[in-house]
Amino acid sequence: MEAQKIVSGAAVGTSGRAEGARPGREGGGLAAARAADPSIHRLFEAQAAARPDATALVQGDRHFSYRELNERANQLAHALIRRGVGRDQAVGICMHRSSEIIIGILATLKAGGAYIPFDPTYPRERLATMFGDIAVKVLLTKADVRAFIPDQAAPILMLDDDWPEIAGESAENPDLASDPDSLAYVIFTSGSTGKPKAAAVSHRGWSNLMLWFAGEFAIQPVDKVLVISSFSFDITQRSIAMPLVVGAELHLLGANLFDPGLVLRTVAKQQITITNCPPIMLYLMLESARDKRLEQLRSLRLLFLGGEAISASRLAPLAQAEACGPDVVNVYGVAECTDVSSFYRLSDYQRYIGSSVPIGRPIRNTTLHLLDEQMRPVADGAPGEICIGGIGVGRGYLNDARLSAEKFVADPFSPTPGAQLYKTGDLGRWGADGNLDYLGRSDHQVKLRGLRIELGEIEAALRRHEWVREAVVLSVEGPAGDPLLVAFLALHQASAPKDLTAGLRAFLKEQLPKYMIPGTFTVLAEMPLNPNGKIDRKALLQRAAAGLPPALLPSSP
């Protein structure tokens, strides 16, 4: 496939305020929406000019100053421009976590292109599908992963073997105008059909998010931000850009796979002040180091958690510790809308031990609406689909015009012509305090004997049991073809009590109707995780459907 400029498949409709409709909650600054915030690479260049000798990037023993990182990115940017990279042109980046990834990101943005992260640990067939969906103009990689990359038409630049040639390019900033509406990056997310979806993010939305983070949380040059998530995860893009736009230090973990012990040691050794991760990663860190876990986190001042519901009980050791006390922030969003759309500062842990932690209020230049199936606002306190509007709404799925038209719709509540809402498929409810509660996925609803069941409600009930650390409930086809509820559990204790099943059923009977009590309970050592650090529900579903015992602790009761 010939490389081409990226064209969004999002539907743009005529915007008009729906008669009688109430607008949703708005983040600060929406009245000044569409203001041209500087692009991420321009903000980075300003820091390189103001603080050239300050440390910008650290991985292990390698340190890059802002001057050195900027000059290397400039050399690569000029090499990309020579190869035809320009506005909305896709540049693939397929490498293990390394400094060259950061150079590749900055260079692509400086050249006017949009970068696409490809995880080299993905199966070859999945990578081939991704390359087939979006033809990149150039692919950046390194020798250690070159053999694992499927055949594709784009020229390849090796950022190790080819660097002597790249180093001959100019080290000056490319003199290109920035367009806030052009694409900055594309993230592949999982699709219900099994085909990855390519979500496109513009410079305007990304800059808005980064400047909001910097202002809301007073991120300063003295801060040190550690990236521990996969490069192909949307949370990672925020972690990379956040320190570089304010002159702080970006630290990369020294291993490709998530290692709780290594994260803790890195935080302690480098005196990391900020990190982002899915909740499950934090739980594993807290539970892996035992007595020394909290002392190793002493330097942290900000901990951003997102991607899954937070279990306040599993954060209790951190909340009650005297050795450390980072501010914990629950952030909510989707890749299709520049990663983060709302936030909630978690302070009163005890309040949420038996319930879910809110996802809070919208960030600046963002609106959140709770709508019914007819796109009408629901009453206060009633559940509705979370729909996101504002600057952060992306440009659709680049490889699926039909799905783009279905999920990106005209915003009937915005006065801005062409404004869009993104229909997340998530369910929420406004609390009495004005914060948004997350109620789970609409597609996690199942019908059992004609009754509609929200699986998240059963999971929340199980997590309230003193034995249960984590719970996932799925609906599978039973022996007779009828749906069957199955629960996968991770426990606080080392082994499952003999009366586990009876105890859990008696406990759930006090909270849920009989038809909502799972038929089987399977205990695992740990929940399986996908490459993005989230619980891999598909893997659990496959295990349940196959009837094979997973890595049990002990066998299923």
Residue appearing with tokens 């199955």: 486
Residues contacting 537, CB < 8 A, separation 6+: 472, 474
Residue appearing with tokens 């040059």: 221
Mean pLDDT of 218-232: 94
Measured CA to CA in angstroms, residue 212 lies from 1, 149, 243, 246 at distances of 39, 37, 13, 12
Is this model's pTM higher than 0.85 or not? no
pLDDT value of position 286: 82
Q: List the structure tokens of 180.
A: 């806030």
Q: Cis ω on the peptide bond leading into residue 120 (within 30° of 0)?
A: no
- What is the DSSP-derived secondary structure letter of residue 545? H
Which of 85-89, 354-358, 538-542 ranks highest by mean pLDDT? Answer: 85-89
CATH fold for domain 68-179: Rossmann fold (3.40.50)
Neighbours of 176 (CB within 10 A): 15
pLDDT value of position 96: 92
Same fold across 1-37+183-442 and 68-179: yes
**Residue 42 burial (C-beta neighbours within 10 Å; 0-12, 13-18, 19+):** middle
Contact assessment for residue 305 and residue 322, using Cβ atoms and an 8 Å cutoff: no
Pairing of strands 90-94, 138-141: parallel
- Sequence-ordered strand ranges (E) for 60-124: 62-65, 90-94, 114-117
> In which order are the strands placed within the sheet that holds 274-277?
62-65, 55-59, 249-252, 224-227, 274-277, 302-306, 327-332, 342-346, 361-362
- As a whole number of angstroms, the distance between CA 508 and CA 524 comes to 20
Measured CA to CA in angstroms, residue 322 lies from 156, 295, 298, 301, 325 at distances of 51, 9, 9, 14, 7
Interval 462-517: pLDDT, tens: 988 988 989 999 988 766 556 789 999 999 887 778 888 999 999 988 877 677 88
Q: Which residue has the higher pLDDT, 514 or 228?
A: 228
Contact assessment for residue 446 and residue 475, using Cβ atoms and an 8 Å cutoff: yes
Say what angle helices 99-110 and 40-50 make with each other, to 10 degrees.
110
Distance of CA 128 to the CA centre of its chain: 23
In degrees and rounded to multiples of 5, residue 321 shows phi and psi of -75, 145
Contact assessment for residue 334 and residue 388, using Cβ atoms and an 8 Å cutoff: yes
Average pLDDT along the chain: 85
Interval 429-440: pLDDT, tens: 999 999 999 887
pLDDT value of position 28: 64
Q: Nearest Cα to 345, choosing from 435, 421, 261?
A: 435
- Provide long-range contacts, Cβ within 8 A and 24+ apart, for 119-124: 119/94, 119/230, 119/231, 119/232, 119/531, 120/94, 120/95, 120/96, 120/145, 120/148, 120/149, 121/256, 121/531, 122/232, 122/531, 124/148, 124/150
- As a whole number of angstroms, the distance between CA 56 and CA 251 comes to 9
- As a whole number of angstroms, the distance between CA 137 and CA 84 comes to 7
Length of the chain (residues): 557
What whole-number percentage of the chain has pLDDT above 70? 86
What whole-number percentage of the chain has pLDDT above 90? 54
pLDDT value of position 164: 97
Task: Report helix, strand or coil for 280.
Answer: helix
First-residue to last-residue Cα distance in the chain: 53
Contact assessment for residue 119 and residue 531, using Cβ atoms and an 8 Å cutoff: yes
Domain boundaries, the chain: 1-37+183-442, 68-179, 449-546
CATH homologous superfamily of 1-37+183-442 equals ANL, N-terminal domain (3.40.50.12780)
- Sequence-ordered strand ranges (E) for 1-144: 25-26, 55-59, 62-65, 90-94, 114-117, 138-141
Interval 106-118: pLDDT, tens: 999 999 999 999 9
pLDDT value of position 8: 36
CATH number for 449-546 (one of 3.30.300.30, 3.40.800.20, 3.40.50.300, 3.40.50.1370): it is 3.30.300.30
- Provide long-range contacts, Cβ within 8 A and 24+ apart, for 49-52: 50/247, 51/221, 51/247
Q: Which residue has the higher pLDDT, 145 or 545?
A: 145
Interval 56-94: pLDDT, tens: 999 988 999 999 999 999 999 999 999 999 999 999 999
